[in-house]
Every structure is written in structure tokens, then in C-alpha cells.
Amino acid sequence: MLKADWLISLFEKINQSKSRFFVYSLVCFILGVTVASFFRLPRAVLFYVYLILLILPILAVIFWREIPKRVVFCGVIFLVLGVIRFQLSESPVDASNIRFYNERVAEVSGFVAEEPNYNERQAVIVQSEKLRVLIQSNEREMAGRFIFYAPFYPQYHYGEKISLRCFLAAPQSKEDVGYPLRLARRGVWSICLDPQVITSGVGGGNGLIFLFVRLSEILTNQINKILNEPQAAFLDGLLFGSRASIPADLKNYFNRTGTTHIIAVSGFNITIIAGALLAILRGVYIPRKKAFWLAVAGVIFFVILTGASASVVRAGIMGVVVLLSKQIGRLSQVGRILILTAFLMLLVNPRLLFFDAGFQLSFAATLGLVYISPLLEDYFKKIPKLFGIRDALLTTFSAIIATTPLILFLFGRFSLVAPLANLLILPIIPLTMAVGFGSLIISAIYLPLGQWAGFLVWLPLTYIIRIVEYLGAFGWSAIDLPKFPWWLMVPMYGIMITIVYRLSSKSKCQSSNQ
């Protein structure tokens, strides 16, 4: 009964708000995407969904003149829109899309649509342009993306034109049932098996993104001229999110200490870095407004340097939202900004909601920074403010609390040393990035001087590596658990939300009584 009363109270607050239609409608759209993610509708059913969408507004105007009832109608309309948007995100199975030719041998050409991911091999996503089925002679223009896997060398890059022969198939994996869904989120519905590359060259993709990627490649080459390994690979990961050259044992130490976010580009990582950057700028007595704009500029600059891919742009948006929440300070407005951000991202790609771990972690981390961080401030008062140490730790700890159930659900690993590791590392990350980038610019102008400047960045890089190796080497530094089932994760978040809601309400009552 208490839960029902709480939901009714929440609905009444939304209904009484001046922006009730705005907030309520966007929430219903997100709910529609949620429903469609679990219950897949055949495309034939979409006609009837469209019909409902046309009838509902007419009924709302004619028969339902009371405002609360119109709010309900408005919510239903946006819920249906969410369902439709998710359904339309599925690639059509027709002769103009590469998905139609799954289970056939074909020659297909296109360009590399994203910078490849590196694990045990290269994962290359290609935007198809032309295709010829080998048993036929005609070649036709083609839409859609496909993925193929290749050895580390030769390396492929964004915008590279490529033509290959392979067997096209629908992505599937017995070990990882979520694999096809994650590829679908990136617009990939076909995998190219046993690929034989025929030709490759340059000239594809977006020119501006190609320019950004090329810039990051040039700077990566400069890193190798002024630093040795593993510091060179670490700085490459720190500045550009590249982890291909980082030794496997060092990657494992970053993972065990909960500091992987400093060498990867995702919304979760940038939310933590953005919050820490703002805290450090304020810690060195830069005025609040200037610190905000400097931090925003830092996030935008970071996005450009890492190639400005779709995932990086989304991560940057989340970082700016975190900074904006710190600047505004009013939870009601911040909550609306978060809802609007989620709506816009899902409008572009509705498959992010349940099939993109980075999207989920970034929103959980952002919610932690916005709603949990203020509740923990009193517990961190004894920690010195010098150089933003207190706020950096508070930011990290809030994000860790908010993301722990989700991390256990997704990965099954929990780091016990993450707060300490982040406290020792985060305060010097912005300085390390600034000195590292400055060294690269100097080396591009005059290499010998850049190599001397490289020593200045070698010191903090080595410090961070030693901290990570030392803390990660303890057998108890991280606990590996079986992945949490969703029915354990959901109650954990339910308890967390209830505690935060009650503490926030209590804090408001105390403030009003004083």
C-alpha cells in the first residue's frame, strides 16, 4: 500500500507541475521503448499501432476534456511512439539491405564505419555500398552494415574503402546470447565469415570524422617517439581511449582496481572524469562559472581527440550533463535534463536502453552523482579540500554506489580497492592529460625538446601504473562473483531508490524547518 501511495503521490506531483506534459510524455516514450525491447512485435502489427496513434489524439480532444485524463492520453500516445521508434530501428529484410543476403556467398564493398575494436583480433564494422552474389553476375547498390574479424595486422581505420569476399550470416553465439543484440544496437545484422580481402584504400566515410581520427593517429605516433612502453600505451589509452597496445596484465590490474574508466571512452567513464575535473578546477580556486566552462571545453576537446564516433559523442553528452547538474544544483531541473537527454538518445537509437552497457552505466553513474553525492557530503567533511581531493573522492564513491548492482549484473566483478585507487589516481589525471598532450604538441614542432618534455609526463604515468599494479596484485582487491540475475538487481535498485528518496525528503524537511 505504501508503494502504491508513493506512486500516486509521484503522479500527482507530475500532474501539478507546469512541465507535466513535457516530463510525463518523455517518460512514457522511454517506457514504450522498454516494452518494445522485451516484447517484439511483427512489422505487420505496426499498421494497427499507427491506427491507434491516429485515433487516440482525436478521442482525447473530443471526449476527454478534463486535464488529468488528457495527461493519461498524452502518455499513451508517447508510449505508442516509443514502441514504434524501437520497431523502426530494426533493419528491413529486403533486396536493398545486406541483411537480405545472409546465408549466401557474396562480394561486398563499402567503407570502415567505425574505428575497429581490438581484443584477440580486430573487429571491423563496414558500411556496405555495393554487393554481388557470386552465383549471379549483377552488382547492386546496398545499404546496411556488416562486421568481419581479422588479425591485428594489417590494421584497418575509419573511412578506409574495402572490398571482400565472404559468406554472409546472421550473427549468433552459443556462449554469448546477447552478442547479436549488441551488434544490432550498432546497426549490424550480418557477419562476414571467412573473409578474403580483395582491395582496400581510402576515400570513404565522413570527412570531418576522418580528420579527427587522422589527428588522433598522428598524435599516437608522436607518443611512441617520446615514451617507452607501457607508459606510451597507457598515455594513448588516457588521451584517446585506445587499449589495443596496453599489456594484458596491466589491463587486468586496471580492471581489478576499478580504474578502467580512465583508459576507455564511455558515458560511465566520462561522467566520473568530468565530475572529478570540475572538482579539481574548483579545488584550485578557479571561479565556479569559469571552472564549469573549462570542464565542458575539456570534455568537448576529449571527444574530438578520440575521433567523435557516435558512442564517444554520447559519452561526451553524459559528461556535459554531469557538469550541468553540478552547475544548476536544483534536483528537479537536473532530473528533467536527464529525462530529456535519455529521450533524445533513444530517439536516435532506441536499442541503447537495454543493449548498451555503456549507456546503462553512464546513466546509473550520473544519477549517483546527482542524487547520492549530496547525501554523502557530511561523511566526507574531514577529508581535505586541497586540489579537489574531497570532491573527487565523493564523485567516485557516489558513482560506485550507483553502478554496483548493474556491474554485478553485467560483469560479476566488484573491486574492494576502487575508492582508494581512484582517490590516489583521479586528482592527477587532468594534469597528466594536459602535460601529455602538451608534450605531443612540442614533439611535433621539435622532437628533441618533446622527448625532454616526455619525461615530465613519464613521472605521473609511472606513478599511476605503480599504484594500479600494487593495489591490483592483492588477491582480495577484487571479488569475482556469478553474474547477478535481473531479479536480484532490480530489488537492490528499489532499496537504493527508497533510501535516497527518504533521506532527500528528510533533508528537505530539516532545511525548511531551519
Name residue, grid cell 578502467.
260
Mean local confidence (pLDDT), 109-121:
84
d(Cα 333, Cα 337) in Å, to the nearest integer?
6
Look at residue 131 and give its three-state secondary structure.
strand
Say yes or no: 219 and 197 in one domain: no
Give residue 64's pLDDT.
Answer: 57
pLDDT band at 148 (very low <50, low <70, confident <90, very high): very high
pLDDT band at 408 (very low <50, low <70, confident <90, very high): confident
Q: Which three cell numbers stand for residue 440?
A: 605531443
Give residue 338's pLDDT.
Answer: 80
Say yes or no: 332 and 382 in one domain: yes
Say yes or no: 325 and 198 in one domain: no
Taking residue 113's Cβ as centre, other Cβ atoms within 10 Å add up to 24
Indicate whether 247 belongs to any domain. Answer: yes
Give residue 168's pLDDT.
Answer: 92
Q: Has residue 463 got a pLDDT over 70?
A: yes
pLDDT band at 145 (very low <50, low <70, confident <90, very high): very high
Contacts from 207-213 at CB under 8 Å and sequence distance 24+? 208/308, 209/158, 209/159, 209/307, 209/308, 209/309, 210/158, 210/159, 212/304, 212/305, 212/306, 212/307, 212/308, 213/115, 213/157, 213/158, 213/159, 213/307
Give residue 66's pLDDT.
Answer: 59
Mean local confidence (pLDDT), 94-105:
89
Q: Has residue 136 got a pLDDT over 60?
A: yes
Indicate whether 93 belongs to any domain. Answer: no
Give residue 269's pLDDT.
Answer: 62
Query: Phi/psi at 42 (nearest 5 deg)?
Result: -65, 150
Say yes or no: 231 and 344 in one domain: yes
Helix, strand, coil distribution of the chain in percent, nearest 5: 65, 10, 20
Mean local confidence (pLDDT), 279-295:
77
Say yes or no: 111 and 141 in one domain: yes
Look at residue 356 and give its three-state secondary structure.
coil
Handedness of CA 212, 263, 127, 161 (dihedral sign): positive
Give residue 422's pLDDT.
Answer: 81
- Out of 38, 58, 88, a domain closes at 88
CATH number of the structural domain spanning residue 174: 2.40.50
Q: Could you tell me the CA-to-CA distances from 171 to 248, 342, 353 in Å, in that order? A: 27, 28, 20
Indicate whether 38 belongs to any domain. Answer: yes
Indicate whether 160 belongs to any domain. Answer: yes
Give residue 489's pLDDT.
Answer: 87
Say yes or no: 58 and 105 in one domain: no
Q: Has residue 191 got a pLDDT over 90?
A: yes
In 3D, which of 129, 131, 126, 128 has the Cα closest to residue 112?
126
Q: Which residues contact 274 (CB under 8 A, 6 or more apart)?
A: 295, 298, 299, 319, 320, 322, 323
Give residue 1's pLDDT.
Answer: 40
Indicate whether 231 belongs to any domain. Answer: yes
Say yes or no: 358 and 379 in one domain: yes
Q: pLDDT tens digits, residue range 195-254?
A: 998 887 777 777 777 887 777 778 888 888 888 888 888 888 887 777 777 888 888 898
Q: pLDDT tens digits, residue range 298-308?
A: 788 777 766 66
Q: pLDDT tens digits, residue range 326-373?
A: 676 655 566 777 888 888 888 888 988 888 887 888 788 878 877 888
- Out of 205, 237, 256, a domain closes at 205
400-413 burial, b at 16+ Cβ within 10 Å, e below that, comes to bbbbbbbbbbbeee
Say yes or no: 236 and 370 in one domain: yes
Q: Could you tell me the CA-to-CA distances from 353 to 266, 346, 479 in Å, in that order? A: 14, 7, 27
Mean local confidence (pLDDT), 484-490:
82
Indicate whether 378 belongs to any domain. Answer: yes
Q: pLDDT tens digits, residue range 304-331?
A: 766 666 677 777 777 787 777 767 665 5
Q: Has residue 477 got a pLDDT over 70?
A: yes
Q: Has residue 469 got a pLDDT over 80?
A: yes
Query: Phi/psi at 162 (nearest 5 deg)?
Result: -150, 140
Say yes or no: 181 and 320 in one domain: no
Mean residue pLDDT across the chain: 79
Give the DSSP letter of residue 484.
P
In 3D, which of 168, 144, 161 has the Cα closest to residue 197?
161
Indicate whether 137 belongs to any domain. Answer: yes
- Out of 41, 57, 88, a domain closes at 88
Q: pLDDT tens digits, residue range 8-33?
A: 454 455 445 556 677 888 888 999 89
By the 8 A CB rule, do 318 and 267 touch? yes
By the 8 A CB rule, do 152 and 123 touch? no
Say yes or no: 231 and 114 in one domain: no
Say yes or no: 187 and 232 in one domain: no
Say yes or no: 402 and 306 in one domain: yes
Query: For residue 139, is it left (φ>0), alpha (ψ between -120 and 50) or beta?
Result: beta
Number of structural domains the chain divides into: 3
d(Cα 144, Cα 96) in Å, to the nearest integer?
9
Name residue, grid cell 546509473.
364
Give residue 2's pLDDT.
Answer: 44
Q: Which three cell numbers stand for residue 25?
A: 510524455
On whether the pTM is more than 0.85, the answer is no
Domain extent at residue 188: 98-205
pLDDT band at 260 (very low <50, low <70, confident <90, very high): confident
Q: Has residue 4 got a pLDDT over 60?
A: no
Q: Has residue 443 got a pLDDT over 80?
A: yes
Stretch (H or E) spanning 282: helix 267-283
Taking residue 418's Cβ as centre, other Cβ atoms within 10 Å add up to 23
Q: Of the given ranges (228-242, 255-269, 500-514), which has the lowest mean pLDDT? A: 500-514
Share of the chain above pLDDT 70, in %: 82
Pick the residue with more confidence: 304 or 140? Answer: 140
Indicate whether 435 belongs to any domain. Answer: yes
d(Cα 393, Cα 401) in Å, to the nearest integer?
12
Q: Has residue 511 got a pLDDT over 60?
A: no
Q: Which residues contact 42 (CB under 8 A, 6 or more apart)?
A: none
Mean local confidence (pLDDT), 126-140:
82
Give residue 17's pLDDT.
Answer: 53
Give residue 10's pLDDT.
Answer: 47
